Amino acid sequence: MKVYYTKYEPAAASVSDLIDIYTDEDVVLPYNKLIYIPLDLYLELDTKEKAIILPRSSTFKRYGFILVNSVGIVDPSFNYNQVQLLVFRLQQDGEDTPLLHIPEGTRLAQLMSIKFNALEHEVSKSSKSKLIKLALNSKKGFGSTG
């Protein structure tokens, strides 16, 4: 994945780190509304990559909004377009603060790259019985090894 910035290049990060993403312009968020926030971020993904956009852990606490899908997924069909966050503001400090100003250059989200393989599909009348047999022989539980 190639990452392009026009203004704010994040500090050097190790391979395991997520990269902070900055707002590209001043934004005013009304309470209880959906809004797109343009980011200083353009991507070039190869056919086996996706970019994941995650909120920073402090974003909701500081600004009172959430990413509408909770996680943004960018695929190669979006190459070279400006990435934006679709957010919804849930929190209001008081009746006198219906609008929230977020200045240009604010770190709101983080970027992660993943590589993926094509999924294998199998559809047949015997698939359900085969899956039931596999499930009966597997460990019981829900997302747990214990």
In the chain, where are the structural domains located?
A: 2-137
Least confident of 22-31, 56-65, 99-108: 56-65
Fold of 2-137: Deoxyuridine 5'-Triphosphate Nucleotidohydrolase; Chain A (2.70.40)
**At 133, is the pLDDT very low, low, confident or very high (cuts 50, 70, 90)?**
confident
Task: Evaluate if pTM is beyond 0.95.
Answer: no
What is the per-residue pLDDT for 52? Answer: 94
As given in the structure block, the two tokens for residue 61 are 């606490």
As given in the structure block, the two tokens for residue 111 are 């970027």
Closest CA to 29 of 79, 66, 56, 70: 66
Q: How far is CA 97 from the centre of its chain?
A: 27
